[in-house]
Structures are given as C-alpha cells and as structure tokens.
C-alpha cells in the first residue's frame, strides 16, 4: 500500500516538474518573436510576430499575400488584372470581391490626387520597364503613343456584378502602387483573428506596426534617407497600430546618360516624376490608404501634397525634397525625431 502511495507521489512530482519546465519554455517562446521572410508582390516581405501561435498566423498570412499576388499581379498571365487588361475595350469581367474592392479604392485615390495617381498608367510603366531586364529610356513618340491610353476615368465598374472593364482597347491597369497596402491590411486582420497583439508587418517598405513592443513601448520606425543606403535613417517616428508607407526614388530606378530614372511615373508627361519630392511617407490607420496616397502625393509636389494630406482626417505625412528639406504635417510634428543633420526640418 505504502509502495503504491510513494509511486503515486513520485509520478506526481515528475509531472509537476515537467509541467513547470514546459511552462517556462513556453514563456520563453513568447518572448522570442517568430519571423519569416519571403518574396511576393515584387518585393521582400518580413513578418515578425510576438507571442504564441506566431508560426501558424504567419503561414496563413503568407498564403493570403500569395493569393493577392495571384489575383492582382500584372506579371502573371492568369491574374484577374491581366484578364481585365487583355479584355480592354470589351465586356466587363466579373472579378473577386477583393480585386473589385482594391480597384474601387484605387479609383478614389486617382480622383483625390486629380489623376497624379492613375492605375491606367500600365502601358507607360511597361514601356520604361523600370526594375526589369528591359529597362530603357523610350522615344518621345513611343511615350506619346501610350499616353493616349492613360485615363482612370475609363475604368468601368459594375458594383452589382463585381465586374470591371476598360473602355478602350490597349488600356491596361496596374495595381503595383496600391496592392501592398491592401495586403498589409489583410495580414493585420489575419493576425487579429489569431489574437496576436504585437507584430511588425513589413511588405517591402509598406510597414504596419501592430500593437506595442513586448516592453510596452511603441514601435520605432526609421524613415529611410532617400539619398543613401538602406538602413540609414533621416528620422524616427514612434507608432502603435499604424501603417507607415513610403514611396521613394531609391528602391527601383536605373541610370542612363547620367540621369536617374525612378519607377513612379507622372501621368501628365509619361516620364518619371520630377516633382522634387524624393520620398513621401504616409502614416494612417489603413495601409491601403497609405499606399495609394504615397504614390500620388509623390507626384503632386510638396505644396499640393501637404494641402491634400492636411485636408484628410487621421492621415499624416513626412515629405523629403531633393534639397534635403523635410516637411511634416501638424499631427506628426511632435513625434518625428530628426536624426540626420544634413537634412533640415521645415517649420
């Protein structure tokens, strides 16, 4: 009888010790973020999740991003965007709710920026091929030829049937200036559903800072020096549950005849934007807003850009111009910490 009791006690002790070891390990894991890098939507993505169930959540997020790429990429023949483009001038095509939503949202930013952001820019983007293996400076006549097809007002939307079309043959849309923002919002929603409280979603410079860092502090996001290497910052902002999106001239560009040609095209000229803004950062609740706006205001130039962002509720911006001046909107002024003295913060 005694022997049985002693055995039970020993077994219990072993179980309790093991459980506490397991709990200790789990506790440790919660402090170790789960991080994954992968390639999608034309860029490198890094998802960093703090807390339990990180791996599962990241797996689901990666699948979601890949499916957005499959639906919205102009580089995949089978994507819905490619089908819309091939069908230009013809009947409207039914698309997924997601593709419809992104196109509809994109059109709002086209309007808001008075056509500086214009998703029908694709024929011109294709001509320059910036970032591809066939990038080149096109002849003026080629640009004139393609510019005729650029007009976001020719995107036809049928809300009832989730269908999209283009009015004229040879017109093409490109969601490259907005899809990453949409993807970041979707990743955030997946993480929320998985009860993740803290994560950094970085889709090639499209950042969403979810919650706080483990030490209770907000995330610090560096604003890249557009005139320098990656990882050299002009300033830092602290954010919680915010999207921080930058459109810059430093990621995708090529040089020819001593000139630098970057990938954001001014739809008025068909040439890379020469607005003097070399970096436009938008801070917002939704990343789709940040992405759509950052590309548009980059082209608008500093005065119009500041006016547009100041007129929008809950959206802030940081602009850097080629003369190394930094302008920030009123709501982010106290938050922005300059950390490079070569740059001047405008009052």
| Least distance to ligand ADP, CB of residue 94, Å | 24
Closest residue to ligand ADP in the complex (CB): 176
DSSP designation for 41 = T
> How many chain residues are in contact with Mg ion, going by CB under 5 A?
4
| Partner whose binding site includes residue 263, from Mg ion, ligand ADP, none (CB under 5 to 8 Å by kind) | ligand ADP
**Does 118 engage in binding with Mg ion (CB under 5 A)?**
no
| Partner whose binding site includes residue 118, from ligand ADP, Mg ion, none (CB under 5 to 8 Å by kind) | ligand ADP
Q: How far apart are the C-alpha atoms of 50 and 189, rounded to whole Å?
A: 15
Q: Is the CA virtual torsion 201, 207, 211, 213 positive or negative?
A: positive
The number of angstroms, rounded, from the C-alpha of 150 to the middle of its chain's C-alpha atoms is 23
| Pick 126 or 331: Cβ nearer ligand ADP | 126
| Partner whose binding site includes residue 119, from ligand ADP, Mg ion, none (CB under 5 to 8 Å by kind) | ligand ADP
| Pick 174 or 211: Cβ nearer ligand ADP | 174
CB burial of 31-68 (b: ≥16 within 10 Å; e: otherwise) equals: eebbeeeeebbeeebebbbbbeebeebbeebbebbeeb
| Least distance to Mg ion, CB of residue 117, Å | 8
| Least distance to ligand ADP, CB of residue 216, Å | 31
DSSP of 221-262: EEEE-TTS-TT-EEEEEEESSEEEEEEESSSSEEEETTEEEE
**Does 290 engage in binding with Mg ion (CB under 5 A)?**
no
| Contacting positions for ligand ADP (CB under 6 A) | 117-119, 121, 125, 174, 176-177, 180, 205, 247, 251-252, 263-265, 267, 291, 294-295, 299
| Pick 34 or 152: Cβ nearer Mg ion | 152
| Least distance to Mg ion, CB of residue 45, Å | 15
Element (H, E) at 202: strand 198-203
| Pick 118 or 185: Cβ nearer ligand ADP | 118
Q: Which of 162, 141, 188, 196 is nearest to 286 (CA)?
A: 188
Instruction: State whether residue 19 is helix, strand or coil.
Output: helix
**Does 295 engage in binding with Mg ion (CB under 5 A)?**
yes
Q: Cα–Cα distances in Å, from 131 out to 205, 254, 295?
A: 16, 7, 17
Strand partners, 256: 259
For Mg ion, which residue of 291, 318, 328, 336 counts as binding (CB under 5 A)?
A: 291
**Up-side HSE of residue 48: CA atoms within 13 Å toward CB?**
15
| Least distance to ligand ADP, CB of residue 168, Å | 18
- Where on the chain is the footprint of Mg ion (CB under 5 A)? 177, 291, 294-295
């Amino acid at each position: 009888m005694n022997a049985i009791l002693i055995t039970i006690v020993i077994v219990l002790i072993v179980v309790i010790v093991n459980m506490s070891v397991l709990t200790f390990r789990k506790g440790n894991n919660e402090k170790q973020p789960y991080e994954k890098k992968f390639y999608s939507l034309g860029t490198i993505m890094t998802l960093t999740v703090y807390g339990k169930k990180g791996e599962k959540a990241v797996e689901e997020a990666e699948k979601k991003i890949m499916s957005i790429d499959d639906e919205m990429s102009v580089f995949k023949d089978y994507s819905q965007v490619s089908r819309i483009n091939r069908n230009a001038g013809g009947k409207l095509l039914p698309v997924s709710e997601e593709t419809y939503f992104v196109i509809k949202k994109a059109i709002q930013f086209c309007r808001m920026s008075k056509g500086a952001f214009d998703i029908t820019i694709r024929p011109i983007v294709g001509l320059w091929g910036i970032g591809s293996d066939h990038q080149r400076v096109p002849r003026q006549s080629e640009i004139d030829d393609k510019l005729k097809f650029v007009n976001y007002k020719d995107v036809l939307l049928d809300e009832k049937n989730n269908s999209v079309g283009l009015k004229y043959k040879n017109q093409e849309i490109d969601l490259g200036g907005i899809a990453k923002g949409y993807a970041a919002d979707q990743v955030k929603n997946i993480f929320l559903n998985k009860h993740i409280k803290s994560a950094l979603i970085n889709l090639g410079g499209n950042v969403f800072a979810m919650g706080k860092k483990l030490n209770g502090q907000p995330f610090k996001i560096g604003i890249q020096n557009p005139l320098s290497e990656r990882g050299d910052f002009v300033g830092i902002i602290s954010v919680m549950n915010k999207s921080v999106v930058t459109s810059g001239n430093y990621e995708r560009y090529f040089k020819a005849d001593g000139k630098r040609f970057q990938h954001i095209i001014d739809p008025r000229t068909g040439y890379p934007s020469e607005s003097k803004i070399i970096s436009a950062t938008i801070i917002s609740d939704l990343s789709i807003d940040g992405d759509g706006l950052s590309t548009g205001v980059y082209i608008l130039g500093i005065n119009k850009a500041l006016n547009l962002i100041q007129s929008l509720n809950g959206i802030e911006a940081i602009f850097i111009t080629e003369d190394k001046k930094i302008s920030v909107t009123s709501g982010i002024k106290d938050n922005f910490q300059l950390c490079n003295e070569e740059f001047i913060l405008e009052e």
